Amino acid sequence: MTANKAYAIIAGVGAGTGASVARKFAQTYPVALLARNPANYTSLVSEINDSGGKAIGIPADVTSGEGLRKAVEEVKKEFPEGDLAAAVYNVGGAFIRKPFLEMGEVEFRAGYEANGIGAFHFSQSMLPLLLESTHLKHPATLIFTGATASLRGSAQSSSFATGKFALRALAQSLAREFGPKRVHVAHLIVDGGIDGLRVREFSGIKGEDVGDRFISPEGVSYTLLLYDPTFLVDEWLTHVMGQIADAYWHLHTQPASAFTFELDIRPYAERW
């Protein structure tokens, strides 16, 4: 076993969950970080490399098969003899909330392009690598990030919900096809306003609207954080995100006799 040659690929590394998952997996594996916009991974790549890990960033449009093929070639050049241990698809896509009759086709499609087609191309690129990975300590793993909208189509949210429902269907289908081949396919539902940046960007939630819903584990009111956006990406949020990332890592380390397909995760004070 040459587990030290194993590596991981994370697609979708903005300021939230994806970056934390990358940090977590980088504690064990070299990681390749994929994002359309290099600005999303540059500082993270430096951070990981500076702290003794190994990370490379690859600009890739995961919603295009061609984009992913090129990214995989790059990855293989970097890790020519490595085994892909884990691939995480964390591309949320924009959360669009608007009256249905005001929504254009491009907006409606956006949810599916990010969560359906993106996940399709990612899976088609990753699964052959995961199936070939035979020198791993933990079963090869493919994890998708879901949301509350994976289970519920809310009013005025059809773009995001159709994408997240489609992603869950794909994940189930892949788990049933590739589980018996010992590839661990899992779907992790991140519920509630865990990812502070998303909450601000996509839901249009203002600090003053939030009420008592966002209470930090340390008792610091999340409301205050939302008032001060510069505070959001700081150490505290990184800490909380890191705790979510532990669930991704736990999924990856499950042995073949004990695969979890789906779990939900939310802050203790979240209503659901």
Which parts of 198-257 interact with a second copy (CB under 8 A)? 216-217, 240, 243-244, 246-247, 250, 253-257
Give CA–CA dist 205/215, Å, rounded: 15
Task: Name 98's Cβ contacts closer than 8 Å, sequence gap at least 6.
Answer: 107, 156
- Closer to a second copy at the Cβ: 49 or 64? 64
C-beta neighbour count of 137 within 10 angstroms: 14
- Alpha-carbon Rg for the chain, nearest whole angstrom, is 18
Stretch that binds a second copy, among 54-62, 70-78, 202-210, 264-272 (CB under 8 A): 264-272
Per-residue x/- marks for a second copy, 39-78, CB under 8 A? --------------------------x-------------
CB atoms < 10 A from the CB of 41, how many? 28
The yes or no reply on residue 91 touching a second copy (CB under 8 A) is no
- For the chain, the first-to-last Cα distance in angstroms comes to 44
Question: Can residue 16 be called a binding residue for a second copy (CB under 8 A)?
Answer: no
User: Toward a second copy, which CB reaches closer, 33 or 188?
Assistant: 188
Among 57, 146, 163, 193, binds a second copy (CB under 8 A): 163
* 87, 170, 210, 232: residue in contact with a second copy (rule CB under 8 A): 170
Q: Which of residues 99-158 bind a second copy (CB under 8 A)?
A: 99-101, 103, 105, 108-109, 112, 116-117, 120-121, 123-124, 127-128, 139, 149, 152-158
> How many whole angstroms separate alpha carbon 80 and alpha carbon 181?
24
The answer to whether 187 touches 251, Cβ cutoff 8 Å, is no
